[in-house]
Structures are given as C-alpha cells and as structure tokens.
Amino acid sequence: MKTIAALMCFCLFQLIVVGPAAAYVDPGTSGLVSQVLYVLFYGALATCLYFFRSLKSYVASLKEFLAKFFGRWR
C-alpha cells in the first residue's frame, strides 16, 4: 500500500509542478507513428483471428470426442 500511495503522490506532484511543454510534432514523425499503429492494429487483429480459428477447431474436435465417448456418433 505504501508503494501505491507513493506513486499517487508522485503523479500528483508531477501534475502540479510540471508546466505545459511547447512541442513541435514533425509531419514525418506523425506519419511514422500512424504507420506503426496500423501495423500493430492489424497484427493484433490477425492474431485474434488465428486464435479464434484454432479455438473453433478445438471445440469441434472436443464435440466429436464427446459424441463418440457417449455413443452418439453419427
């Protein structure tokens, strides 16, 4: 609990003491960031679809196994 309280105090201190920063975002940098985010998004989407495909295959094989085990095989 002391760690969480110390972290909260640190965050509050940073919000109070640190002023706004004047920054310039180069257009090339924002384009690079958007390309990286696209790749991460579609990579995560492909991973999820692959996982659900394997999960669907597992459920189908489990269904066949249980049907065979309990004697209700087609």
Residue 14, in any domain of the structure: no
pLDDT tens digits along 19-30: 677 777 777 888
Residue 5, in any domain of the structure: no
Q: By residue range, what is the domain housing residue 73?
A: 33-74
Closest CA to 2 of 10, 69, 52: 10
Can you tell me whether residue 14 is helix, strand or coil?
helix
pLDDT tens digits along 36-54: 999 999 999 999 999 998 8
pTM: 0.48
What distance, in Å, lies between the first and last C-alpha atoms of the chain? 59
Domain count along the chain = 1
